Amino acid sequence: MTRGARPLVVDLDGTLLLTDLLHESVMALLRQSPVDAVRIPLWLMRGKAHLKSELAKRINLDPATLPYNQPFLDWLRTQRASGRRLILATASDQRLAHQVAEHLGLFDAVLASDGRTNLAGDVKRQRLVETMGAGDFVYAGNSGADLAVWQGASAAVVVNAKPTLARQAARITSIECVHPPQPAGLGVWAKALRLHQWLKNLLIFVPALAAHRIWEGSLLLQAVAGFLAFSLTASSVYLLNDLLDLGDDRHHRSKRLRPFAAGRLSIAAGVLATPALLMVALALASGLHWTFAVVLSAYYLLTMAYSFWLKRQVMLDVITLAALYTLRIIAGAAAVGVRPSFWLLAFSMFIFLSLALLKRYSELLELRRAGSLSKARGRGYHVEDLTLLMAFGATSGYASVLVMALYLNSADVVPLYREPRYIWLACPFLLYWISRAWLLAHRGEMHEDPVVFAARDKVSLIVALGLALMFWLAI
């Protein structure tokens, strides 16, 4: 590259960034101020430029954590080092565009929407031609809207786009180079939907198992339908959570790699998939008893409350998580028409409260060891709370074992088991697993969701087999 090369004009959304700042802004406002978000249609009636301006006034985006197209950004740095003039031209609002430009320190000038003019398509081409002259610049873009801009450019740099766009651009102007996209395959969607978290929804089958009716054909089919409905609802909630938590996730060691936070999936795709999954779940629920639909709706509403508010409230967040696990068991009972016992619900609440506290404890311990924060971002906990969280969590875990022991001494156990004394052996198994889990967390060796950890940990699987054996011997 020589110093006489034509200036390179770079688009921002979808080109330099693997996301769209308008979509990011809407999600950020929904998270920061849902009341203000109601005004979005009114702002849009005055034009997209006005909408972007109003959003930019109200949100805080950290340009350092945004998902950049790293290979393209590295290429831009080589162009800059060779002396080429770089200009950022974007339809995003000028406030956000300048923040990105100041963070990167690459651009000689910034052109952006200003609250009155939406700098996109023909308007962007006209502005660039007026500023630099027709055919006196190279333009880097990624979408069909950029075809209009390439009509005024001497060459095109096609970034993060399908091959069809490159062919269309080649009919308009010469192609300087192409930076191919990183396709989002099924694996990326599986990660976004958190299919591995569907393990938690196996709790749907617990009431039928506890009633010793799981192998009744019709009940098993109803439980499977309930499992699928709950899993799709949970995935819908996971997508919504990730869309609302973009800012916090990007500051987290591992969560920053989630598909939406990393820009592997577009926010628009997530917004479309979220209600679609919920609609399929409701269709499945409609084939079951109406009480299942009621419980499923309660689960969804509670998770919405958790996403918008409860997750940031100390202790309410973990109690809510425990309640959500317990709702899975109640839903399983509703799906098959079995009444859940008091003992089962009490055991569930205590054991899952312990696991929710275990997750929070591990997150705080990681922060303390990193030494970067005294408070968990997006949460209400301080690292000084570690000792109390361990006390709460261990006590709750042991309380669940006490509930099991009391159940074994109750009249409810007699009709279901011929030899209930064998289940007493389950108590030391469970005591061992809870104690070991908290010991690993205390050592900083619990790096993931405790339920997922249990599904992958050999010792946990052996304990689970032991528990199953005890109950089988008791039948």
- Cα 434-438-439 angle, rounded to 5 deg: 115
Residue of 86, 65, 67 lying closest to 75 (CA atoms): 86
Q: Which two tokens stand for residue 68?
A: 């950049």
Cα 107 → chain centroid:
32
User: How far apart (Å, rounded) are the C-alpha atoms in residues 160 and 58?
Assistant: 29
Check if 8-179 and 185-340 are the same fold: no
Residues in the chain: 475
User: How far apart (Å, rounded) are the C-alpha atoms in residues 187 and 195?
Assistant: 10
Per CATH, the homologous superfamily of domain 185-340 is UbiA prenyltransferase (1.10.357.140)
86: helix, strand or coil: strand
CB contact at 8 A, 434 and 394: yes
User: How far apart (Å, rounded) are the C-alpha atoms in residues 449 and 447?
Assistant: 7
Kindly give the confidence (pLDDT) of every residue in the chain, 475 residues in length, as a single tens digit, with 9 standing for 90 and above.
444 589 999 999 999 999 999 999 999 999 888 888 999 999 999 999 999 999 999 998 999 999 999 999 999 999 999 999 999 999 999 999 999 999 999 999 999 999 999 999 999 999 999 999 999 999 999 999 999 999 999 999 999 999 999 999 999 999 999 999 987 788 999 999 999 889 889 999 998 888 888 788 788 899 999 999 999 999 999 999 899 989 888 988 788 999 999 999 999 999 999 999 999 999 999 988 899 999 999 999 998 888 778 888 889 999 999 999 999 999 999 998 888 888 889 999 999 999 999 999 988 888 887 765 566 665 678 888 899 999 999 999 999 999 999 988 888 777 778 888 888 888 999 999 999 999 999 998 887 788 888 888 899 999 999 988 988 888 8
- Give the predicted TM-score (pTM) of the model: 0.82
User: How far apart (Å, rounded) are the C-alpha atoms in residues 67 and 285?
Assistant: 37
| DSSP secondary structure letters along 148-196 | HHHTTSSEEEEES--HHHHHHHHHHSEEEEEE------HHHHHHHHTGG
What are the extents of the domains in the chain? 8-179, 185-340, 341-475
Inter-CA distances, 318 with 7, 237, 311, 357, Å: 54, 17, 8, 6
Radius of gyration of the chain (CA): 27
CATH class entry, domain 8-179: alpha beta
